[in-house]
Amino acid sequence: MRKELRRWLRRLHDELHVTSLFVTHDQDEALELADRVVIMNHGKIEQVGSPDEVYANPASPFVLDFLGDVNVWHYQIQDGRVVVGGVPVDVPASRAPAHGSGKLYIRPHAVAIEPASSGAPGFPAAIVHVHRAGPIVRVELKTAWGDAARVDLSPDAFDRLRLSVGDAVVLVATDRDVFVVSDDGAVRGGVTAAR
C-alpha cells in the first residue's frame, strides 16, 4: 500500500506543479518522491540536493550511512597508501587522505564476488550465510581481517558462481560506490578498491 501511495503522490505532484514538503524517515520513499532531498541529523542539515546528488556524492559519513546499507571497513595509511586488511586500495591523489586512518564504505550492490581460486585481486573473505530474497541474493561474509561484509547479487549471478557457505572468495569493489572517510569526517568518493 505504501508503494502505491508513493506512486500516486509522485503523479499528483507532477500534475499539479506545486511545491510540497514530504517528511519521512524512509530513505527509499524520500529518494523516489523528491526532486530535492534535505537530510537532517539531530536537527542539523547534513546535505541538500537531488536524490542522485546525495546518493552519489554524500557530504558526510552520516549521509552515506543513512542512504542505504554499506560495508564499513577500517583502513590505515601505510607507505602513503590506503590499506584495508593488508590490501592496498587505489585512491586518486586528489582524494587520498595524507595520513592516519579512517573507514572505507562500500555499498553491497557495488561488490562482486570471485572464487579465491580465480586469482582475482581483491579483499579475501569467506561466505558465512546466504539468504535468497526474491530478486536479490544477500551474501554475508567475514573478511580475512575479521570485519563483516555483505554483497547483494542477482540470483543468476550467484548461481553462476556455484558458491556455498564456508567457501573462500575475493571481494572486488567497483569504483562508483566506494568512499574513503578519514578520521576528520571528510568523505572522498569514487575511488577504486582492491586493484
Number of structural domains, the chain?
2
Look at residue 74 and tell me whether its pLDDT is greater than 80.
yes
User: Is the domain of 48 the same as that of 84?
Assistant: no
pLDDT above 90 covers a percentage of the chain that reads 31
Q: Is residue 138 part of a domain?
A: yes
Residues sharing a CB contact under 8 Å with residue 9, sequence separation 6 or more, in sequence order: 22, 33
Among the candidates 11, 34, 66, a domain finishes at: 66
Q: Average pLDDT of the chain?
A: 84
The residue behind cell 546518493 is 55
User: What integer is the mean pLDDT of 85-94?
Assistant: 76
Shared-domain flag, residues 184 and 115: yes
Q: What local confidence, expressed as pLDDT, does residue 194 receive? A: 47
Per-residue confidence (pLDDT) for residue 167, from 0 to 100: 96
Is the confidence at residue 193, as pLDDT, over 70?
no
pLDDT of residue 164 exceeding 70:
yes
Does a structural domain hold residue 56? yes
| Assigned C-alpha cell, 68 | 542505504
125 and 183 housed in the same domain? yes
| Co-location of 46 and 78 in the same domain | no
Q: Check residue 176 and give its pLDDT.
A: 64
Q: How far apart are CA 110 and CA 122, in angstroms?
A: 13
Distance CA 112, CA 175 (A): 12
φ/ψ (deg, to 5) at 155: -60, -40
pLDDT average, residue stretch 81-87: 84
Same structural domain, 37 and 56: yes
Name the residue with cell 595509511: 77
109 found inside a domain: yes
- Position 11 pLDDT exceeds 60: yes
Shared-domain flag, residues 122 and 152: yes
pLDDT at res. 180: 78
The domain boundary, picked from 36, 66, 96, lies at 66
Query: For residue 173, is pLDDT > 90?
Result: no
Q: Tell me, yes or no, whether 17 and 81 share the same domain.
A: no
Q: How confident is the model at residue 140 (pLDDT cuts 50, 70, 90)?
A: very high
**Stronger pLDDT, 99 or 190, i.e. the higher one:** 99
In a domain, 194, yes or no: no
Residues 131/137, Cβ–Cβ less than 8 Å: yes
Does residue 127 sit in the same domain as residue 41? no
Between CA 139 and CA 165 the distance in angstroms is: 9
Quote the domain boundaries for residue 11: 2-66
Residues 53 and 96 in one domain: no
**Are 187 and 133 a contacting pair, CB within 8 Å?**
no
Q: Tell me: do 25 and 52 sit in the same domain.
A: yes
What confidence tens digit (pLDDT) does each residue in 100-114 have? Answer: 788 888 889 888 999
Note the pLDDT tens digit of each residue in 22-50. 787 878 888 888 889 999 999 999 999 99
CA distance 156 to 165: 17
The H or E element that residue 152 is part of is: strand 148-153
Q: Are residues 58 and 76 in the same domain?
A: no
Asked if residue 192 has pLDDT above 60, the reply is no
| Least confidently predicted of 5-9, 186-190, 191-195 | 191-195
Residues 86 and 127 in one domain: yes
Q: At 166, phi and psi to the nearest 5?
A: 95, -15
Q: Per the domain annotation, does 195 fall within a domain?
A: no
CA-to-CA separations, 195 to 22, 91, 133, 153, in angstroms, rounded: 42, 10, 30, 21
Residue 124 and residue 59: Cα distance in Å, rounded? 29
Mean pLDDT of 140-154: 94
Could you tell me the sign of the dihedral formed by the alpha carbons of 120, 123, 129, 132, in that order? Answer: negative
Percent of residues, the chain, with pLDDT higher than 70: 91
CA distances 124 to 71, 118, 187, Å, are 14, 12, 25
Report if residue 117 sits inside a domain: yes
